[in-house]
Amino acid sequence: MSPADSGKDVVNDFVLTDSLRAGLPFDEVQVWIADLDCYLPDNFQPVLSTDEVERAQRFHFAKHRNHFIVARGLLRKFLAAYLNSNPADLTFEYAEKGKPSVASADAIKFNLAHSHGQAAYAFSRNRELGIDIELIRQDFGGEDIARRFFSTHEVECLESVPKELAGQAFFNCWTRKEAYIKAIGEGLSMPLDDFDVSLAPGEPAALLENRRSETEVQRWSMRSLAAPAGYAAALVVEGTGWDFKQFSLQGPANP
């Protein structure tokens, strides 16, 4: 659903759709895919914290700086809509390995990823989750990276897919692994070859095995997401029995 599909309010280059006004039901996971180039960074910088502005200034290239500002600004706007608060007033806390949460709002869980101008956001109540999105690149040496970081099972699966699907398969695997380690809050401290995920194009996303803990497979749900053309995206959510909604947020084009 895009803003044109529903009633909307435009405030500082941000479209507040009917879906956001309806809130976040219990046991529903909502995912938003946003094109960061459709938003003006100057309209989001005022809601960022001092440390977020400082982080933005560290980027050498303006494009990367602007993407960071818009991505964080959108996150604050989303959370403020769900929590009925002011986006500039939100305070983030970070777990030992970097997973963010909203201070004094433990009931809402969220995760964010962005790649080459596209951002993916996931929100739930009382369920840990992780999300990832990546631009599919065909000429980056994926097989060598897979042999270095993926499990033996995953490398074998990657080598078995048709050559023209190898890029999609690699990024299926990568995004599913990233979403999982973000969901469990381990970050890259957990070796990527400690667990297996499905990766073949057309095959359902799944956590197949965790060699650290057999119960992890039953604890988490994994699914691929409808991503913009040329991208792969994945979501991991704690538990089962939750409803799912995905929205596309494109916003007004820059002049």
Q: Which CATH number belongs to the domain containing residue 213 in this structure?
A: 3.90.470.20
For residues 185-213, one letter each, b for 16 or more C-beta atoms within 10 angstroms of the residue's C-beta and e for the rest, the string is bbeeebebbebbbbbbeeeebbbeebeee
Q: Do 77 and 22 belong to one domain?
A: yes
pTM equals: 0.90
Q: Do 228 and 244 belong to one domain?
A: no
Choose between 103 and 128: higher pLDDT: 128
Please give the distance of CA 35 from its chain centroid, rounded to a whole number: 13
Q: Which tokens is 52 given?
A: 């977020």
The verdict on residue 152 lying in a domain is: yes
Where does 116-227 show beta strands of DSSP type E?
A: 118-125, 129-135, 195-197, 207-210, 220-224
Report pLDDT for 138.
80
Q: Do 74 and 34 belong to one domain?
A: yes
Q: Do 13 and 115 belong to one domain?
A: yes
Mean pLDDT across the chain: 89
Domain with 147, as residue range(s), is 134-234
pLDDT in tens, 156-182: 999 999 999 999 999 999 999 999 999
Choose between 69 and 190: higher pLDDT: 69
Report pLDDT for 241.
95
Residue 15 confidence class, pLDDT cut points 50, 70, 90: low
Range among 136-145, 182-191, 220-229 with highest mean pLDDT value: 220-229
Q: Do 157 and 97 belong to one domain?
A: no
The verdict on residue 254 lying in a domain is: no
Helix (H, G, I), strand (E, B) or coil at 188: helix
The verdict on residue 255 lying in a domain is: no
Residues 6+ apart with CB under 8 A from 106: none
* The pLDDT of residue 58 is above 90: yes
The verdict on residue 110 lying in a domain is: yes
Q: Do 173 and 123 belong to one domain?
A: no
* The pLDDT of residue 201 is above 50: yes
Report pLDDT for 222.
98
The verdict on residue 163 lying in a domain is: yes
Q: Do 244 and 219 belong to one domain?
A: no
Count of domains for the chain: 2
Q: Do 22 and 101 belong to one domain?
A: yes
Q: Do 203 and 187 belong to one domain?
A: yes
The verdict on residue 119 lying in a domain is: yes
Q: Do 143 and 181 belong to one domain?
A: yes
Q: Do 12 and 98 belong to one domain?
A: yes
The verdict on residue 9 lying in a domain is: yes
Residues 6+ apart with CB under 8 A from 196: 151, 153, 154, 207, 208, 209
Report pLDDT for 115.
97
Q: Do 187 and 211 belong to one domain?
A: yes
Q: How many Å apart are CA 165 and CA 170, to the nearest integer?
A: 9
Q: Which tokens is 209 given?
A: 């095995």
- Residue for token digits 């983030």? 92
Residue 111: HSE in the Cβ half-sphere, 13 Å Cα cutoff = 29
